[in-house]
Structure 1
Amino acid sequence: MEILDLYDENRIRTGKTYIRGEKMPENTYRLIVHAAIFNAKGQLLIQQRQATKTMANLWDLSCGGASDKGESSKEAIRREVMEELGLDIDFFDIRPIFTANFKHGFDDFYLVHRDFSLSDLTLQTSEVQDARWASEDLVMKLIDEGKFVKYKKNFVRLIFDLGKDDRIVEI
């Protein structure tokens, strides 16, 4: 059972919580985090969701999930990356590159550059069935084929474009 903090429209914790999967109270929001991990070749690490998860078998960004009760955005993304991929990335000095507001909350997107071999990953088998490095063209092809989470193409292009920015923190 995941217990999540509830926020107001200004992203201030209300002091109330809810259990993930239950209906959220009206006029409350939750915090989601995502990481887009790029290598030196400009490829994005993508993961394939497990068949037992929502959006089953679809490819997705490097990592993502909900912020647990009491967690900051940076704590949540560090935990999610460690749980899903087995990578310990310290996000202390990394700010989200942007926040997307959606109907039920806020979604912080972190971009990092890090080179490693896929064999360095320890996938959380309950959530992730596979991972690979992918070019922008491959991700667009997967979207066209209905094999990638249904992000808008321009949104994914923005992530790739921002991933090319040399101001992104190297870790």
Structure 2
Amino acid sequence: MKRNDWCLKDGEYHLTVLGVIARPDGKFLISKRTMTKSWAPGWWEVSGGGAMAGESSFDAVKREILEETGLDVSDWDGGYEFTYKRENPGEGDNYFVDVYKFVADFDEKDVHMQESETDGFKLATLDEIKQYAEKGIFLHYDSIKQVFE
């Protein structure tokens, strides 16, 4: 199912997950969305996506991170942080977002980004992420900023 290829009724929600990937040195793995994306092309983001029917949010975030980065976070430190809710009355796009954070010492060579989804990645400091957010080009920052602290 493509993004927004549904129309939920008021009071109905779908489940989305976000996975913040951190290293012990305080850097975070972020990716740049391809310019062919219909929504927020060229913006920076953390890994994430929609949960499939019957899939737990933990399984969904592990799957999304593996698909998007090639990293298997199953045995990494961290896990569930919090949930937030978005309601868009009349738009048919209401959702809950389960936010996770995983920490491990990994190298850039371990990262294999999904080329159809991204135009690259970087290991960014919190200050760099805040700068992207101030420019309005970091997805979901205001909703998940406490995970970076």
TM-score for both structures, normalised by structure 2:
0.85
Larger radius of gyration: 1
- With over 3 angstroms needed to count, the CA separation of the structure-2 counterparts of 1:92 and 1:41, relative to structure 1, is closer
Matched, 1:55 2:40: yes
Q: Which runs of 5+ in 2 are unaligned?
A: 88-93
SS at match of 1:96: strand
TM-score norm. by structure 1 comes to 0.75
Percent of matched pairs sharing the same residue? 31
CA offsets 1:50-107 (integer angstroms, 9 cap, x no match): 112221110012x110001121111111110111001112179964111111111211
In the alignment, structure 1 residue 74 sits paired with structure 2 residue 47:
no
Contact 2:79 2:102 in 1 (8 A): no
Rate the CA distance shift 1:78–1:125 in 2: closer, same or farther, 3 A. same
Runs of 4+, deviation exceeding 4 Å: 91-95
* Structural mapping, 1:6-155, within 5 Å: 20-53=4-37, 54-61=39-46, 63-90=47-74, 95-103=79-87, 104-149=94-139, 151-152=141-142, 155=144
- Which moves more between the two structures, 27-36 or 137-146? 137-146
CA RMSD of superposed structures (Å):
2.2
Could you tell me how far apart the structure 2 residues matched to 1:112 and 1:94 are?
5
Residue 155 of structure 1, CA deviation: 4.2
Partner secondary structure for residue 80 of structure 2? coil
Q: Could you tell me which amino acid in structure 1 is paired with residue 40 of structure 2?
A: M
